[in-house]
């Protein structure tokens, strides 16, 4: 058998005339079958490797005739090509057994295909095309070069060729394929074919490749198919119409009515297709489809098929929020469905519909929640996941549901499935409020300790983002939160260093009361040498170092800090963080010296510091709290001269190697610090060992320097509003370069600051400025005083760009910023602002069980306000929904006359609209123009007419009825609706939603 088929194959290839004959003999294109295909399917015995085939052919050619034929054809390359063409199966087999490597094999195969596809023989061509499809589909090789060849194959009368061609086209064509224009006529021909399979193929293809032109040109054909009496074709046409609408919205005017008519079809397949189309359409613009609600309602109540019910539920999920009366009607059937159905997919759809769109119907939600709980405790991970998913939808409106299921949620945090874990984590975070944040965070951190790195960071990330939401809205006890941050950064897998760093600094800047605890946490982090080895923690450590330097006055033992900051393992840090460490060490050192000499000295009665003391007292009055705390901390850590000497030695020891650092930043800071140490050592240390008188003189020098530097450091940094710079008025006479193009070349490689709500002005940088000025202090100490007072002046004048918090209190603990009498009043203003702020933030939130009040969190009003999502859900008023609306809202009048004319004419429609209601009766008598309407459709339109008339009559009572409706209780209405379930009795529905049928 195989040999005979091969013989026939040879002949087919050789004799084009004969092929023509075949064509004549078999007029039906489907019956013409490619031999190639036949060979492929039918001859598994035939070895498809080229060698084997060749062997068999030579055997066959023993008959002289075929031999001669063979010889005569040897000259034509196309024959050889087609004879020895690999079939798809050869290709696949070859690909699986190849020894030369897949890529090499494929490129060889592609080469062959390129040759074969140019053949004039359609069988060869189509086989080549099929092979190309295979390679394109599964090995992702470009097949755009074959676009025209695919079209050629498409023109074949044979069904199998067409099938391959359509397959190739829908696989490879896209909007910019140049030959797309040429396909229109092929499609049109096949759409009107008598063979339903051909129609189906072309519909399928159209759904995939349709562009505006194709959709426009083929709309009439699709329209005809919409009422085809072959169900198989019709349902496909219905499905494809969606794509046509999308591409060419004007087609809505033509096809929409027929689509709607199909809604009333009783065939479940058609119905399923139509409902599918409407559920897609309704997703995009639900409002346009409200008038069809009665039809959908009927389907919902009548439907026996779960597929259809799911789709209808989707439609109602979109429609119900738009029309409360509709929701009233629909909610009960949905609940019924939820109770009765055994199919989980339908059940889930009911649940989802209820929780998304019927969340104000208490009983329905309760039922849904019951079902959700069943899902949650189910063994099947799918149901569990979906249950959690549904719960997260409910969570936005009914938080109680989530807390009711807390145990399940917490349990599923340790589920083996990462998706379930993440989903339940989201839910747990949704539960968080200021009352339970501590408890939940504790549980979560425990989970984070146990879980894998990925999920651990997921947990930490969500804790961090939840807690910092809206400027730490839910945090009351910041001491707790700061220690939580410290705890979190110690979790082995923690990779959230950057976020924790930001929050440490942010909280330090914003919340004054938490600073002592912050310093304590920072100390714990800094002191632990093990942490330095973890590169993920470096960012946290840099924040801790910054905190230790900035708020060192709250520290119990500053010397400890110095040791921690200068410990040998800091060499493991990257240079940028190393620089922060050194800078912080500088600050701590200055503080220590200041405490030792200036404060200690002042009690010894150093006259020079007496004047400052008075300012100290002044500041004590302003910021009693912090000063008291400050005083305590200072006394608890006695700093003696001896310890200072050790300290200076330590600094020298630790930093001298860094003088040769390759990093400029590190090197410079180290040099600064060492220079300062040298200076102090010269001045102070000598004095400490000498006689009292001697020391008094020299000590004055030293304390002066120390005081100045300390003064520079004690300027507190505050958060700066991102928009602050914009508020600065442009001075007169300032001409700015219009074109900043040259700036770009300069700053090209500088990274833009990340879009934080704050620009912290990188702590180290600001310090850099001040430390730079330190060098100058030696020469001109008066300059600093001047600059501080200038700063204060500026602050007074442009107070609005500064933070309203009373940060000057802290500053003035040691040294007042300037001799500015107005400062006092300024402070009072600030204080009153603070009071107001406190009142605002505390009154609504404060709970009686809070042992201590929530500390003030400094906010910059204009920046911290959460940017309101400007995105509004605008109803897409595009042409598609516009067209649909035209049809549905404007044309219910036309519906009765739908049998008259199918071709759209918006002008005519507009005219019709006005007279329609009065003309309804007369129009009914208008004879069909027989355009394409069937008997059935006519009947149908009459049905519509009847309903329409009935409704007109009812319209008079409408208002009364509506009032009755609103007062009547639900059960009774449902009963009446149940009775109305027979498809013909539409009036009850129309009466409830009267305007939908208008």
Partner 1 sequence: MIHFVLLISRQGKVRLTKWYSPYSQKERTKVIRELSGLILTRGPKLCNFVEWRGLRVVYKRYASLYFCMCIDEDDNELEILEIIHHYVEVLDRYFGSVCELDLIYNFHKAYFILDELLIAGELQEPSKRTVTRLVAAQDSLVETAKEQTSSITNIIAQAAK
* Interface positions, 602-661, toward partner 1 (CB under 8 A): none
Return the sign of the alpha-carbon dihedral for residues 383, 389, 395, 397.
Answer: negative
Neighbours of 953 (CB within 10 A): 9
- What phi and psi, each to the nearest 5 degrees, are found at residue 848? -60, -30
Residues ≥6 apart with Cβ < 8 Å to 615: 812, 815, 816
- The rounded distance, in Å, linking the Cα atoms of 605 and 566 is 34
Q: Which of residues 734-793 bind partner 1 (CB under 8 A)?
A: none
Rule CB under 8 A: say whether 435 interacts with partner 1. no
Please compute, for residue 110, the number of CA atoms within 13 A of its CA located in the half-sphere on the CB side: 16
| Closest distance of CB 336 from partner 1, Å | 19
Specify the residue, 284 or 850, whose C-beta has the smaller distance to partner 1.
284
- What phi and psi, each to the nearest 5 degrees, are found at residue 267? -75, 125
CA distances from 277 to 235, 246, 284 (A): 11, 11, 11
Task: Tell me which residue of 940, 912, 913, 911 sits closest to 928, measured CA to CA.
Answer: 940
Specify the residue, 175 or 439, whose C-beta has the smaller distance to partner 1.
175
Contact 775, 675 (CB under 8 A): yes
Task: Tell me which residue of 552, 728, 580, 770 sits closest to 665, measured CA to CA.
Answer: 580
Specify the residue, 305 or 838, whose C-beta has the smaller distance to partner 1.
305
Specify the residue, 23 or 569, whose C-beta has the smaller distance to partner 1.
23
- Residue from 61, 85, 123, 136 touching partner 1 (CB under 8 A): that is 136
| Closest distance of CB 735 from partner 1, Å | 49
- The rounded distance, in Å, linking the Cα atoms of 355 and 317 is 9
Q: Which of residues 163-192 bind partner 1 (CB under 8 A)?
A: 163-164, 167, 171, 174-175
Which residue(s) pair with 758 in the sheet?
A: 721
- Residue from 54, 148, 232, 400 touching partner 1 (CB under 8 A): that is 232
Rule CB under 8 A: say whether 419 interacts with partner 1. yes
| Closest distance of CB 263 from partner 1, Å | 16
| Closest distance of CB 33 from partner 1, Å | 3
Encoded one letter per residue, x for contact with partner 1 by CB under 8 A and - for no contact, window 37-76 reads xx--xx----------------------x-----------
Contact 793, 541 (CB under 8 A): no
Encoded one letter per residue, x for contact with partner 1 by CB under 8 A and - for no contact, window 242-261 reads xx------------------
Rule CB under 8 A: say whether 551 interacts with partner 1. no
Rule CB under 8 A: say whether 31 interacts with partner 1. yes
Q: What string of H, E and C letters represents the secondary structure of 382-409?
A: HHHHHHHHHHHHHHCCCHHHHHHCHHHH
The interface region with partner 1, picked from 334-342, 383-391, 403-411, 717-725 by CB under 8 A, is 383-391
Rule CB under 8 A: say whether 386 interacts with partner 1. yes
Residues ≥6 apart with Cβ < 8 Å to 634: 553, 595, 599
Q: Which of residues 93-112 bind partner 1 (CB under 8 A)?
A: 96
| Closest distance of CB 380 from partner 1, Å | 8
Task: Tell me which residue of 122, 136, 25 sits closest to 78, measured CA to CA.
Answer: 122
Q: Which of residues 8-27 bind partner 1 (CB under 8 A)?
A: 8, 11-12, 15, 17-18, 21-22, 26
Task: Tell me which residue of 696, 712, 685, 505 sits closest to 590, measured CA to CA.
Answer: 712
Specify the residue, 7 or 920, whose C-beta has the smaller distance to partner 1.
7
Specify the residue, 274 or 543, whose C-beta has the smaller distance to partner 1.
274
Specify the residue, 21 or 571, whose C-beta has the smaller distance to partner 1.
21
Q: Where are the alpha helices (DSSP H) in 210-250?
A: 212-225, 231-247
- Residue from 285, 349, 501, 513 touching partner 1 (CB under 8 A): that is 349
| Closest distance of CB 283 from partner 1, Å | 8
Neighbours of 621 (CB within 10 A): 12
Residue count, binding to partner 1 (CB under 8 A): 82
| Closest distance of CB 315 from partner 1, Å | 12
Q: How far is CA 986 from the centre of its chain?
A: 44
| Closest distance of CB 493 from partner 1, Å | 19
- Residue from 92, 445, 491, 920 touching partner 1 (CB under 8 A): that is 92
Rule CB under 8 A: say whether 322 interacts with partner 1. no
Q: Which of residues 272-311 bind partner 1 (CB under 8 A)?
A: 272-273, 276-277, 280, 283, 305, 307, 310
Specify the residue, 265 or 990, whose C-beta has the smaller distance to partner 1.
265
| Closest distance of CB 204 from partner 1, Å | 6
DSSP string covering 20-50:
HHHHHH--STTT---HHHHHHHH-SSS--SH
Please compute, for residue 961, the number of CA atoms within 13 A of its CA located in the half-sphere on the CB side: 18
- The rounded distance, in Å, linking the Cα atoms of 553 and 548 is 9
534: left (phi over 0), alpha (psi -120 to 50) or beta: beta
Rule CB under 8 A: say whether 4 interacts with partner 1. yes
Contact 333, 367 (CB under 8 A): no
- The rounded distance, in Å, linking the Cα atoms of 268 and 264 is 10
| Closest distance of CB 139 from partner 1, Å | 8
- Residue from 68, 185, 363, 382 touching partner 1 (CB under 8 A): that is 382
Return the sign of the alpha-carbon dihedral for residues 312, 314, 315, 320.
Answer: positive
- The rounded distance, in Å, linking the Cα atoms of 834 and 858 is 9
| Closest distance of CB 31 from partner 1, Å | 4
Specify the residue, 419 or 632, whose C-beta has the smaller distance to partner 1.
419
| Closest distance of CB 137 from partner 1, Å | 6
The interface region with partner 1, picked from 265-273, 395-403, 441-449, 698-706 by CB under 8 A, is 265-273
- Residue from 111, 142, 617, 678 touching partner 1 (CB under 8 A): that is 142
Q: How far is CA 427 from the centre of its chain?
A: 17
Q: Which of residues 188-217 bind partner 1 (CB under 8 A)?
A: 197, 203-204, 207-208
Encoded one letter per residue, x for contact with partner 1 by CB under 8 A and - for no contact, window 831-850 reads --------------------
Contact 939, 924 (CB under 8 A): no
Task: Tell me which residue of 112, 110, 47, 142 sits closest to 102, measured CA to CA.
Answer: 110
Specify the residue, 417 or 473, whose C-beta has the smaller distance to partner 1.
417
| Closest distance of CB 485 from partner 1, Å | 29
The interface region with partner 1, picked from 228-236, 289-297, 708-716, 823-831 by CB under 8 A, is 228-236
Specify the residue, 96 or 972, whose C-beta has the smaller distance to partner 1.
96
- Residue from 199, 215, 233, 240 touching partner 1 (CB under 8 A): that is 240
The interface region with partner 1, picked from 247-255, 417-425, 640-648, 865-873 by CB under 8 A, is 417-425
Neighbours of 221 (CB within 10 A): 20
- What phi and psi, each to the nearest 5 degrees, are found at residue 759? -105, 115
Task: Tell me which residue of 89, 145, 157 sits closest to 117, measured CA to CA.
Answer: 145
| Closest distance of CB 353 from partner 1, Å | 10
- The rounded distance, in Å, linking the Cα atoms of 821 and 574 is 46
| Closest distance of CB 419 from partner 1, Å | 6
Task: Tell me which residue of 285, 760, 323, 792 sits closest to 546, measured CA to CA.
Answer: 760
- Residue from 73, 123, 126, 160 touching partner 1 (CB under 8 A): that is 160
| Closest distance of CB 172 from partner 1, Å | 8
Specify the residue, 242 or 856, whose C-beta has the smaller distance to partner 1.
242
| Closest distance of CB 175 from partner 1, Å | 7
| Closest distance of CB 173 from partner 1, Å | 10
């Amino acid at each position: 058998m195989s040999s005979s088929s091969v013989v026939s194959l040879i002949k087919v290839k050789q004799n084009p005339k004969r092929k023509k004959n075949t064509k004549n003999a078999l007029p039906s294109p489907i019956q013409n079958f490619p031999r190639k295909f036949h060979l492929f399917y039918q001859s598994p015995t035939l070895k498809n490797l080229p060698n084997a085939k060749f062997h068999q052919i030579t055997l066959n050619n023993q008959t002289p005739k075929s031999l001669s034929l063979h010889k005569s054809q040897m000259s034509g390359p196309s024959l050889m090509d087609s004879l020895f063409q690999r079939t798809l199966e050869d290709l696949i087999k070859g690909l699986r057994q190849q020894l030369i490597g897949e890529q090499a094999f494929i490129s060889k195969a592609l080469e062959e295909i390129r040759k074969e596809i140019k053949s004039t023989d359609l069988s060869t061509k189509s086989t080549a095309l099929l092979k190309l499809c295979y390679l394109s589909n599964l090995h992702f090789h470009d097949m755009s070069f074959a676009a025209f060849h695919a079209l050629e194959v498409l023109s074949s009368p044979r069904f199998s060729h067409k099938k391959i061609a359509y397959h190739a086209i829908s696989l490879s064509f896209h909007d910019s394929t140049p030959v797309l224009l040429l396909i229109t006529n092929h499609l049109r021909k096949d759409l009107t074919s008598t063979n339903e399979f051909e129609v189906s193929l072309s519909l399928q293809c159209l759904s995939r490749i349709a562009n505006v032109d194709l959709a426009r040109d083929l709309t009439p054909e699709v329209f005809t198919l919409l009422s085809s009496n072959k169900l198989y074709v019709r349902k496909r046409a219905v499905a494809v119409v969606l794509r046509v609408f999308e591409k060419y919205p004007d087609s809505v005017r033509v096809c929409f009515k027929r689509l709607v008519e199909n809604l009333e079809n009783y065939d479940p397949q058609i119905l399923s297709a139509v409902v599918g189309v409407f559920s897609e359409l309704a997703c995009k613009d639900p409002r346009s489809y409200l008038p069809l609600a009665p039809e959908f309602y009927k389907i919902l109540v009548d439907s026996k098929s779960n597929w259809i019910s799911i789709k209808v539920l989707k439609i109602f999920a979109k429609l119900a929020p738009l029309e409360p009366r509709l929701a009233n009607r629909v909610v009960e059937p949905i609940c019924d469905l939820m109770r009765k159905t055994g199919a989980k997919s339908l059940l889930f759809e009911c649940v989802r519909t209820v929780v998304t769109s019927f969340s104000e119907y208490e009983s329905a939600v309760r039922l849904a929640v019951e079902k959700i709980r069943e899902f949650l405790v189910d063994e099947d991970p799918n149901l569990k996941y979906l249950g959690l998913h549904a719960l997260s939808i409910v969570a936005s409106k009914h938080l109680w549901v989530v807390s009711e299921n807390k145990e399940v949620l917490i349990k599923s945090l340790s589920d083996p499935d990462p998706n379930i874990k993440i989903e339940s984590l989201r839910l747990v975070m949704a539960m968080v409020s200021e009352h339970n944040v501590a408890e939940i965070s504790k549980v979560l951190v425990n989970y984070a300790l146990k879980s894998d790195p990925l999920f651990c960071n997921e947990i930490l990330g969500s804790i961090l983002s939840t807690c910092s939401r809206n400027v730490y809205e839910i945090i009351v006890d910041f001491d707790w939160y700061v220690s939580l941050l410290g705890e979190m950064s110690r979790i082995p897998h923690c990779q959230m260093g950057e976020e924790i760093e930001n929050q440490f600094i942010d909280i330090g800047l914003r919340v004054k009361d938490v600073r002592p605890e912050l310093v304590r946490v920072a100390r714990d982090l800094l002191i632990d040498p093990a942490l330095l080895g973890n590169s993920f923690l470096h960012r946290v450590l840099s924040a801790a170092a910054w905190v230790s330097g900035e708020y060192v006055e709250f520290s119990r033992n500053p010397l400890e800090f110095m040791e921690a900051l200068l410990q040998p393992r800091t060499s493991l840090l990257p240079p940028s963080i190393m620089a922060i460490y050194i800078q912080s060490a500088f600050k701590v050192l200055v503080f220590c010296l200041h405490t030792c000499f200036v404060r200690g000295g002042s009690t010894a009665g150093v006259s020079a510091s007496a004047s400052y003391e008075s300012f100290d007292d002044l500041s004590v009055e302003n910021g009693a709290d912090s000063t008291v705390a400050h005083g305590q901390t200072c006394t608890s850590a006695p700093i003696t001269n001896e310890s200072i000497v050790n300290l200076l030695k330590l600094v020298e020891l630790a930093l001298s190697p860094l003088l040769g650092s390759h990093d400029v930043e590190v090197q410079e800071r180290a040099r600064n610090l060492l220079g300062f140490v040298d200076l102090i050592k010269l001045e102070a240390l000598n004095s400490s060992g000498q006689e009292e008188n001697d020391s008094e003189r020299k000590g004055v020098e030293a304390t002066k320097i120390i005081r100045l530097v300390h003064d520079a450091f004690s300027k507190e940094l505050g958060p700066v509003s991102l928009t602050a710079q914009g508020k600065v008025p442009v001075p007169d006479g300032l001409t700015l370069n219009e074109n900043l193009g040259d700036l770009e070349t300069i700053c090209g490689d500088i990274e833009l600051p990340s879009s934080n709500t704050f620009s912290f002005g990188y702590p180290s940088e600001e310090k850099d400025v001040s430390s730079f000025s330190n060098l100058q202090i030696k020469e001109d100490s008066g300059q600093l005083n001047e600059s501080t007072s200038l700063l204060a002046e500026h602050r007074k004048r442009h107070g609005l760009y500064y933070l309203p918090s009373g940060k000057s209190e802290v500053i003035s603990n040691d040294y007042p910023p300037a001799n500015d009498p107005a400062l006092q009043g300024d402070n009072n203003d600030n204080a009153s602002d603070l009071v107001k702020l406190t009142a605002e933030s505390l009154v609504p939130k404060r709970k009686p069980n809070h042992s201590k009040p929530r500390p003030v969190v400094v906010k910059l009003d204009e920046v911290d306000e959460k940017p309101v999502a400007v995105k509004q859900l605008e109803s897409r008023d595009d042409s598609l929904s516009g067209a649909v609306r035209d049809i549905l809202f404007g044309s219910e009048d036309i519906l009765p006359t739908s049998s008259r004319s199918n071709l759209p004419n918006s002008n005519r429609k507009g005219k019709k609209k006005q007279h329609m209601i009065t003309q309804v009766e007369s129009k009914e008598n208008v004879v069909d123009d027989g355009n394409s309407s069937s008997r059935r459709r006519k009947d149908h339109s009459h049905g519509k007419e009847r309903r329409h008339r009935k409704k007109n009559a009812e319209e008079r009572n409408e208002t009364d009825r509506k009032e009755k409706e609103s007062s009547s209780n639900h059960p009774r209405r449902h009963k009446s609706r149940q009775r109305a379930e027979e498809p013909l009795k539409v009036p009850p529905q129309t009466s409830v939603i009267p305007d939908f049928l208008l």
